[in-house]
Structure 1
Amino acid sequence: MEVFNTPNKVIITCNRRLSPYLAQEVEALGFDIVRAFNTGVEVNASINECIRLNLNLRVASQVLYEIKSFRARNADELYKALVTIAWDELIPFDGYFSVTSNVHNETITTPLFANVKVKDAIVDRIKDKKGVRPNTGPELNRAVIHLHWIDDRAEIFLDTSGETLAKHGYRKHPGKAPMLEALATATIMATQWDGQSPFINPMCGSGTLAIEAALMAQKRMPGLQRMNYSFMHFIGYDEEVFFEERRRLKDLTDKKNLPLIIASDISDVAIEIAKSNARTAGVEHLITFEVGDFAKTTVPKENGVIMFNPEYGERLGVHAKLEATYKRIGDFMKQECKGYRGYIFTGNLDLAKKIGLQASRRFEFFSGKLDCRLLQYELYEGSKDKLSESKTSKDADESPTGSKIHKLIRVQDKK
């Protein structure tokens, strides 16, 4: 079965509410989007093209190449359909594979049972053809097969990614309540930061926002951090395709005219963790780290972006203290960050009211299962403050752009 050079349906998944930003990335790579939905986009691509997608996408989770779609009312029908697929031409008989799934079928009480049926069909087919069976297990560092089975409609995919793309491989020390790398990238994309003006990140924690900003400014793709993907473990893989794309991405990396990026935190431990993560990502030299209260953060006297990701106050007993912190953040932005666009990412809109500034835009996100907002503030001087407030007093949550794709995703997300 030739899949590396055969275009077919490909689903690129992402975390909920990141789909508009994923769509921007995919379109920028020259792919036409067939369909966009809450947690991903659909394109038409070969697995060799999936290699390019895996190495270039910052917001994605998995890149799934469809092998077959069919109807299956129960596990027996699932097995019968899957055992006819030429798995012996896809997975080495002496290899290893794992199965993941998204299953909602009334005859299945646990997805693990569906996974076992998929494994049985693959193993039985390969053993019948080769006389030997491959090994299986839960690890996602080799070949991965994904089942999507809703009601009686089933699809089977080659998961070309394996381990999620949403983690970019540099965060060996996560720190306290870290932001997922893909989410951090999407929030920066939402700001429409130009990658040349200053990017200031007080209360930086483990440094994810500052590191992602540095990677984006340098045009350094997350795929350069990783040397193992699921696509490498399917029959037909040509390593030269992978290494050629890596060479291309290295050549595209911009090492000149890079912006000033400043990350600060009151915890010297957090700064050491952030430095370590930045070193692993190869961007430590691009970030100025400062230890101290956020109000002491250096803010260059020029236009740029300043972004906070403060605590949300989910634990009892900390809400009153955070109210004062949010008010101080608002005062700091208003007094020390004039000319900047200010952003606060929070999962607590009650606390956000303590900022004391009128948000000009509100972007919807999820951090895990927590409903969050990225709030944008235009930090004008003098009378422009009042003008901005009067224009934005009726703000509503919005998508990153006004395109039809993004509006459609937003409508679906509300359902």
Structure 2
Amino acid sequence: MQVFHNKSKVIVTCNKRLAPYLAEEIKDLGYTIVREFPTGAELEITMSQCIKLNLNLRCASQVLYKIASFKAKNPDDLYNAVKLIEWEKLINSTGYFSVTSNVDNPTITTPLFANLKVKDAIADRILELKGLRPNSGSEVNKTVIHLYWKENEADIFIDTSGETLAKHGYRKIPGKAPMLEALAAGTILATKWDRNSPFVNPMCGSGTLAIEAALIATNRRPGLYRMNYGFMHVLGYEEEVFFEERRNLKDQVIKNKKIKIIASDISEDAVDVSRKNAKTAGVDGLIEFYVCDFRETPIPENAGTIIFNPEYGERLGVHHKLELTYKAMGDFMKQNCKGYYGYIFTGNPDLTKKIGLKAERKIEFYNGKLDCRLLEYELYSGSKRIDTRIQSSLPNE
């Protein structure tokens, strides 16, 4: 089974509402998308081509390569169909594999049972043919098989990623309520930041937004921070393809980038965590860290981007303290950030009413299961009304 050189359906998944930014990433890498959907994109490529996706994508979760499709009404049908696949050409008989699934079938009450049927079918076939039964379990750090089973239609994939791509590998200390790296990257890609002007992140927490900004600005890809993927544990894997792609990642890094990235937090512990995470990512020299109230964050002159990710508070019943904080963020941007694009990422629509600015855009995201918005504010250096009046007084060309 020449999976590394044969084209097949590939599904690249992501968290809900990250799909538009994922699609742009995939296209920028030179791939053609067959279909886009709310949680990912479909391509037609080889598993070797999946290696580049795994190393480069910032917004993705998994890269799944299809090896079989069949009909299955019940668990017995599933077992029989899976057992027909030539697993001995994919999984080492002395190796280790795990099974994940997305199941919507009336005969299945828990996806764990479907996972077990797939595991048994794979192990039984290899045992019968090789005399050895590979180990299996819940860890996804070796060969990972994914089952997609809806009604009577089932697809079997090799999960070429293994551990999720949504974590970028540099954040060894998460901090309090951290934003997932893929979400942080998608949030930045949704802004109008040009990757050259100043990027300011007050209330930085564990530093994820500032670090992702530094990574994007210098074209450092997530593959630089990871050395284990699911595709490495599939028979036929050619490691030179991986190492060549990794060399390309290193060559593409923009060295000696002149850029101003500022991160601040009132918590000394948070700033300490941010510094350590930035050092692991190799971008600590690109970020200026400050321990201070957000209102004391230094703002470079002229134009730039400022982004807040404040606490959301309770969905029902707004805390008075947070109301004051949201109002203060709006006042700070109006008074100190003229000429900037301002952004506030929040999951509390009631608190946004206290900001005192009208959002130019409200971009939808999810943070976990929480419905969130990235609010965009154009912070004019002068009066928009005056600018418009001056423009209207000019003669028509």
CA distance in structure 2 between the partners assigned to 1:159 and 1:25 by the alignment:
20
Deviations 1:140-171 (A, max 9, x none): 10000000001111000000000000000111
What is aligned with 1:125? 125
- List runs of 5+ in structure 1 lacking aligned partners: 389-415
CA distance in structure 2 between the partners assigned to 1:274 and 1:148 by the alignment:
38
Q: Quick check: 2:197–2:259 contact (8 Å CA) kept in 1? A: yes
What is aligned with 1:181? 181
Pair 150,312 (structure 1): closer, same or farther in 2 beyond 3 Å: same
CA distance in structure 2 between the partners assigned to 1:316 and 1:374 by the alignment:
20
CA distance in structure 2 between the partners assigned to 1:24 and 1:108 by the alignment:
36
What is aligned with 1:12? 12
Pair 307,222 (structure 1): closer, same or farther in 2 beyond 3 Å: same
CA distance in structure 2 between the partners assigned to 1:135 and 1:369 by the alignment:
34
| Structure 2 counterparts to residues 15-414 of structure 1, below 5 A | 15-314=15-314, 319-384=319-384
AA in 1 matched with 2:221: M
The percent of aligned pairs where both chains have the same amino acid is 66
Q: Quick check: 1:218–1:258 contact (8 Å CA) kept in 2? A: no
Give the secondary structure class of the aligned counterpart of 2:353.
Answer: helix
Q: Quick check: 1:264–1:290 contact (8 Å CA) kept in 2? A: yes
Deviations 1:126-148 (A, max 9, x none): 11111111000110100000000
Q: Quick check: 2:203–2:294 contact (8 Å CA) kept in 1? A: yes
AA in 2 matched with 1:15: N
CA distance in structure 2 between the partners assigned to 1:301 and 1:387 by the alignment:
20
Normalising by structure 1, report the TM-score: 0.92
CA distance in structure 2 between the partners assigned to 1:114 and 1:345 by the alignment:
38
CA distance in structure 1 between the partners assigned to 2:338 and 2:158 by the alignment:
50
- Runs (4+) of structure 1 exceeding 3 A deviation are 315-318, 385-388
Give the secondary structure class of the aligned counterpart of 1:163.
Answer: coil
**Cα deviation, residue 381, structure 1:** 3.0
Q: Quick check: 1:379–1:385 contact (8 Å CA) kept in 2? A: no
**Cα deviation, residue 314, structure 1:** 2.2
CA distance in structure 1 between the partners assigned to 2:273 and 2:315 by the alignment:
23
- List runs of 5+ in structure 2 lacking aligned partners: 389-397
Give the secondary structure class of the aligned counterpart of 2:77.
Answer: helix
Pair 236,326 (structure 1): closer, same or farther in 2 beyond 3 Å: same
Q: Quick check: 2:318–2:351 contact (8 Å CA) kept in 1? A: no
**Cα deviation, residue 73, structure 1:** 0.4
What is aligned with 2:393? none
Deviations 1:156-214 (A, max 9, x none): 00000000000001111111111010000001000031111000000000000000000
AA in 2 matched with 1:73: K
CA distance in structure 1 between the partners assigned to 2:129 and 2:337 by the alignment:
68
AA in 2 matched with 1:262: I
Pair 23,316 (structure 1): closer, same or farther in 2 beyond 3 Å: closer
CA distance in structure 2 between the partners assigned to 1:315 and 1:10 by the alignment:
38
CA distance in structure 1 between the partners assigned to 2:285 and 2:71 by the alignment:
54
What is aligned with 1:399? none
AA in 1 matched with 2:278: A
**Cα deviation, residue 318, structure 1:** 6.7
Count residues in correspondence. Answer: 388
CA distance in structure 2 between the partners assigned to 1:196 and 1:289 by the alignment:
18
What is aligned with 1:394? none
AA in 1 matched with 2:211: I
**Cα deviation, residue 255, structure 1:** 1.1
AA in 2 matched with 1:230: G
Deviations 1:16-48 (A, max 9, x none): 000000000000011111011111100011111
